[in-house]
Amino acid sequence: MLTICLLRHGETAYNADGNKYCGRTDIGLTEKGIQQAKRMNELLKDYTFDAIFCSPLQRAKLTAEIASGKPESVQIDDRLIEVDFGSWEGKRPAEFQAEDPESWHNWLVDPALYKAGRSGESAAQVVDRLNSFYSELLEKYDNKNILIVGHNGINRFFMTSQLGMPLRNYRKIVQDNSALTLLTLSKEEGMNLLKLNA
């Protein structure tokens, strides 16, 4: 069984600017985001991690380096990159919902089938790559403690799928910037959610 501390990266300028969708756009942390990561370092000081993984995007990598206090140990895995939001990228929800209400409606009803922003990823594609990552973790790090720094979209889709919820309900799970989720993962029992959004 794995014990996983699952983080979302700290605040970015897109988060602070009306929650612009920041899927694959590679922007850094704000000063507030850096402080959030430092707070997480304090929260995690009693944990010992056998491995640390993050998305290739700089906002996740810097959060992982600061939060873990071990920048040299951070491993990048491309499967942890944020959802490709297609035409929604860099826009506030009110903007792209007004531009293409049909696309947003389809995503809300069945994100497993429809692609975000028409040209991005479907939730099923996201879950497939995350399942590949987490299955590999179980093979290599069973009975270990792992720190993972990802993104709002991918973390929520992973937890939604593991909890057996329809993927359209992913927005019902909250994970704030640089917030901690603690879970266990095993081949036999799947995921057990111990702490959410701390």
Interatomic CA distance for residues 84 and 87, integer angstroms: 9
Please name the helix (run of DSSP H) or strand (run of DSSP E) that holds residue 103, with its range, or none: helix 101-109
pLDDT digits (tens, 9 = 90+) for 78-131: 999 999 999 999 999 999 999 999 999 999 999 999 999 999 999 999 999 999
Residues that are catalytic: 9, 82
- Spell out the domain ranges in the chain: 2-195
* Average pLDDT score over the chain: 97
What is the model's pLDDT at position 115?
98
Q: What angle do CA 63, 50, 7 make, to 5 degrees?
A: 30
How many CA atoms within 13 Å lie on the side-chain side of 130? 28
What is the model's pLDDT at position 2?
96
User: What value does the mean pLDDT take over residues 132-160?
Assistant: 97
Q: Is the pLDDT of residue 69 over 90?
A: yes
* Fold of the CATH domain 2-195: Rossmann fold (3.40.50)
What is the model's pLDDT at position 147?
98
Q: What angle do CA 138, 179, 26 make, to 5 degrees?
A: 85
Q: Helix or strand or coil: residue 139? A: helix
What is the model's pLDDT at position 18?
87
3-state helix, strand, coil in the chain (%, to 5): 45, 20, 35
Q: Is the pLDDT of residue 161 over 90?
A: yes
The answer to whether the predicted template modeling score (pTM) of the entire model surpasses 0.95 is yes
High-pLDDT (> 70) share of the chain, %: 100
